[in-house]
Structure 1
Amino acid sequence: MTKQHLDCAAAAADAGLTPPRLEELSQIARATANLGGSVLMQHYGQLVSIQQKARAGDLVTNADLAAEKAVLSGLGEATPEISVLAEESGAKGDVSELCWCVDPLDGTTNFAHGYPFFATSVGLLWRGLPILGAVAVPFLQEVFWCCPGTGAFLDDQRIQVSGCSSLEDSLLVTGFAYDRRERSDNNYAEFCRLTHKTRGVRRGGAAAVDLAYVAAGRLDGYWERGLSPWDITAGAALVVIAGGEVSDYRAKNYDVSSGRILATGPGLHTDLQKELEDIEPLAEGLYAN
């Protein structure tokens, strides 16, 4: 099987971004993600508005909206020439080329319940391929950021993916999409099987943080489906630049619009990909209402 995993440096080169420009953009991503995180902490524990979107369990709060406004203002001031795709306000400009992908509050359900696993994610995307980004986890006062040619960092400390090469020694993480109640393709079967074959599978509830933790070697691998570009752009870049591998479930050409992601250290990717390929969904009657 030919590997066709994400290559952030190649995407940056295709976009015509020079090393000095990449450094500048990575610092903008870091600053605006940190700004969004600061806004979230101003609202943490004192929400005045929680609303449900079209899908059950998909929430938006006044904190999401305030954080997005602050991030978009910062990006607009620093890089008015770059388009933006944001979770709450949608697309501004031509997002098929170079654009910022913004999730002002990844882990809204966690945030709304006072569970402190949430983040602001700001990533740079080129034709569906992540280049760089930053994930601010404000309750823990941590900012993960990366830049091709420079590296991946937690604040000012360089990070790298784990060297784990055995599923039985691994700690994984996944998540369950909002449409999990309507489809058999919902990660339930994968979660059960991989819980038996590994040291454990966690469910954090914030894709950007899950990916940042894989990049930092705190977790060995992550897979999920039903995701949007703003969920994974910054985190996918973090994993790759920290020495890991990112693909879809079948190691085909990676594009964030697929909604699927498999992210691991290099020693685990093939084995986890094969496991995911072999797992059949649970029978629908096992989890029907």
Structure 2
Amino acid sequence: MDYDTVKRARALAEEVIRQAGAAALERFDKIAELTDKDDYGDVVTEVDHLAEGIILPRIQAEFPSHAIHSEEAGNLGGESDWLWLIDPLDGTNNFAIGLPVFTTSITLMYRREPVLGVIYEPLTDRMFVSAAGEGAACNGLPMRTRPAASLAKANIGWIQGHAVRNDPHAVRLRHHLDVSFKRMMRLWAPSLQWCMLAKGDIDGIVLYNSEGDDLYSGILMVKEAGGIVVDFEGRPFTGMRAEPYLIACHPDDADALLQTVRAGLPPSGSEASA
């Protein structure tokens, strides 16, 4: 891997993500255009496209040989070991109803592994940055996950894919988590939940079949902050997967959180444990 490429990518990502965030902040609570994105209730706003229009041309100009996948524009560029993943407005549904919980996420992958993650929350002016082997920071201050004082009093983030909806296995697991912990959070802005875990503000994440352009920046953020990310079988998560089922937390809590998740799945198992 070319570390100079990662260094240049980081500088560019931090610059353009702040510009995209400023554009989103300027238009917050002033939505003029809102359209349905799919059959699951997801929406897209003019801000999604505006932020994308700020980010994509700069990446294409600076790294013309790199591949890009952006949430609204889809695949851009040819085959490459380098792949940018762009979520121009993570938390669009929140943004659309005036709920101030949203971010922009930029990830750089190298051979299907995240090497750079930059997430910006414009309303709080918090810039979260992680680079492979270099740790994770919020506005320049190092972040570390923390072990839960008690899992019974823990705050656990829940993330599910748009197509999951009321899948009976997901409903069963959500209910089990809701009664097993102090709080089971659903922010509808997954990248922010990953940052909260990396920062030590929440105690864990359970992700149920949710793969998207915001996922890998969050995973890198948590890993570089000393956290652990494993699948429902307890295997370390690496690479990319179309239908991931994951838990993330401080390493000291991994066994207990995994046992709690397994207890919330059907006794006979399910596709989620495959």
Q: Residue 62 of structure 1 corresponds to which residue in structure 2?
A: 46
Instruction: From the superposition, tell whether residues 261 and 55 of structure 1 become closer, same or farther in structure 2 (CA, over 3 Å).
Output: farther
1:33 aligns with 2:33: no
Corresponding letter in the other structure for 1:235: G
1:24 aligns with 2:5: no
Q: Secondary structure at the match of 2:169?
A: coil
CA distance in 2, matches of 1:190, 1:146: 30
Kindly state the Cα deviation for residue 165 of structure 1 after the two structures are TM-superposed: 6.4
1:129–1:256 CA contact under 8 A, matched in 2: no
Corresponding letter in the other structure for 1:203: R
Q: Which runs of 5+ in 1 are unaligned?
A: 1-15, 283-289
1:262 aligns with 2:247: yes
Question: Bigger relative contact order, structure 1 or 2, given CA contacts below 8 A and separation 6+?
Answer: 1
CA distance in 1, matches of 2:232, 2:17: 28
CA distance in 1, matches of 2:159, 2:72: 21
User: What's the TM-score, normalizing by structure 1?
Assistant: 0.84
CA distance in 2, matches of 1:26, 1:276: 35
Q: Secondary structure at the match of 1:163?
A: coil
Corresponding letter in the other structure for 1:240: K
Q: Residue 26 of structure 2 corresponds to which residue in structure 1?
A: 42
Instruction: From the superposition, tell whether residues 256 and 234 of structure 1 become closer, same or farther in structure 2 (CA, over 3 Å).
Output: farther
Q: Alignment identity in percent?
A: 24
Kindly state the Cα deviation for residue 71 of structure 1 after the two structures are TM-superposed: 1.0
Q: Which runs of 5+ in 2 are unaligned?
A: 268-274
Kindly state the Cα deviation for residue 24 of structure 1 after the two structures are TM-superposed: 2.6
Kindly state the Cα deviation for residue 166 of structure 1 after the two structures are TM-superposed: 4.1
Q: Residue 7 of structure 1 corresponds to which residue in structure 2?
A: none
Kindly state the Cα deviation for residue 104 of structure 1 after the two structures are TM-superposed: 0.4
Kindly state the Cα deviation for residue 189 of structure 1 after the two structures are TM-superposed: 2.1
Q: Residue 270 of structure 2 corresponds to which residue in structure 1?
A: none
Residue correspondence of structure 1 range 166-177 to structure 2 within 5 A:
166-177=150-161
Kindly state the Cα deviation for residue 281 of structure 1 after the two structures are TM-superposed: 5.4
1:128–1:256 CA contact under 8 A, matched in 2: no
Instruction: From the superposition, tell whether residues 264 and 142 of structure 1 become closer, same or farther in structure 2 (CA, over 3 Å).
Output: same
Instruction: From the superposition, tell whether residues 211 and 256 of structure 1 become closer, same or farther in structure 2 (CA, over 3 Å).
Output: farther
Instruction: From the superposition, tell whether residues 98 and 61 of structure 1 become closer, same or farther in structure 2 (CA, over 3 Å).
Output: same
Q: CA offsets, 1:47-81, max 9 Å, x none?
A: 11111122221111101011111111221222222
Instruction: From the superposition, tell whether residues 278 and 17 of structure 1 become closer, same or farther in structure 2 (CA, over 3 Å).
Output: farther
Q: Secondary structure at the match of 1:175?
A: strand
Q: CA offsets, 1:126-168, max 9 Å, x none?
A: 3432222111011111110111232211011111111226422
1:242 aligns with 2:229: no
Q: CA offsets, 1:93-136, max 9 Å, x none?
A: 24673201000011111000010110100011234322221110
Farther-moved stretch of structure 1 (174-183 vs 130-139): 174-183
1:39–1:63 CA contact under 8 A, matched in 2: yes
CA distance in 2, matches of 1:58, 1:193: 26
Kindly state the Cα deviation for residue 192 of structure 1 after the two structures are TM-superposed: 1.9
Instruction: From the superposition, tell whether residues 44 and 272 of structure 1 become closer, same or farther in structure 2 (CA, over 3 Å).
Output: same
